[in-house]
Amino acid sequence: MRTLVRLGYVAMSVNVPNSSPSQTMTYTRFKQIDDREAAITKLERIAESNIHNCIRLLKHNAANDISFFRLSSRLVPLATHEDLAGWRYLESISEPLLELGGIAKKKGMRIDFHPDHFVVVNSPKKEVLLNALKVLTYHYHLLKGIGIEPKHRAVLHVGGAYQNKAKALEQFVLNWAIVPRSIQDMIMIENDDKSFDMMDCLYLCNKLGLPFVFDYHHHLANHSDPDWKSHWNRVVGTWEVSKLPIKMHISSPKSDKQYRSHADFVDPSMFLDFLKGINSSVPQIDCMIEAKKKDQALFQLMKDLKSLNAIEAVDGASFYLKKGV
């Protein structure tokens, strides 16, 4: 068995001009508009523009064989703000959402979300947990509006360590019991670069039946056991609950001094070290590039891997490792 590797990138393109899917309006600006109905209409227009830009990005991806993409969580500004609790924002964006979903399904694209760091499920504070559930419900409704099955479409970090990591892990388990099943089904867990490492996440994923998204860069920055390869089969095992291929995150350190920060591009040698460790262990792996140069980092990585004579390209964004690499 050879492993098919598909590359994806995050939310925005450096090659498609004026295509931000994260245009926004602050709540302060919203309140400055005297006519509330006019202010909400402005929010809806921004949301429509964001989704239309996403559609442009998906078309760009299709033209370049990119079939893995992370959507921006900021498609609808202020969607979860308490002052707009009654706003039926989905009604105004239903058509462009369906168009976006239609392109993704037609082209066989895998799309998902990575909610912001303030979405903390393991918080001991009730208000923080309730806010996290509100934001996750927003992502769930967007996925339903797009027409994509929400299961395993949102990546989360475990949350805060709160000076007692073991207790914080058990707080996640305790809080998980009040998370609605529809939201539980949406979640994947990723290791972070400071607190919860590979072993912590495997414990949690095995206990709760969640897929584990392995971030290689984060692992190098934060690990209790540096030998990730000896635990790779456990990572693969967490994906038995999912119909989707296993996924991971790849980025490179900005510098030795700023090791946790993401570089503009991906170091091909670092990526190859990972790929050699997992080659032939799974039929397919989807690798999300978390680099500052977005799609250009993807194009450059493909170019670099070809120049190293390391891959057999399938198309512009997927490949097999060559034998003997």
The per-residue pLDDT for 320 is: 98
What is the tens place of the pLDDT at every residue in 150-193?
999 999 999 999 999 999 999 999 999 999 999 999 999 999 99
When pLDDT is cut at 50, 70 and 90, the band that residue 200 belongs to is very high
* pLDDT greater than 90 at residue 66: yes
Average pLDDT over residues 1-6: 96
When pLDDT is cut at 50, 70 and 90, the band that residue 87 belongs to is very high
CA atoms of 211 and 187, how far apart (whole Å): 8
What is the tens place of the pLDDT at every residue in 106-149?
999 999 999 999 999 999 999 999 999 999 999 999 999 999 99
Taking domain 113-242, whether its CATH number is 3.20.20.220 is answered by: no
pTM reported for the whole predicted model: 0.97
What is the tens place of the pLDDT at every residue in 5-42?
999 999 999 999 999 999 999 999 999 999 999 999 99
Average pLDDT over residues 247-272: 97
The per-residue pLDDT for 324 is: 82
The per-residue pLDDT for 325 is: 87
Name 213's bridge partners. 190
Name 288's bridge partners. 8, 249
What is the tens place of the pLDDT at every residue in 265-323?
999 999 999 999 999 999 999 999 999 999 999 999 999 999 999 999 999 999 999 99
* pLDDT greater than 90 at residue 201: yes
Q: Mean of the per-residue pLDDT values for the chain?
A: 97
Q: Would you list the domain boundaries of the chain?
A: 113-242
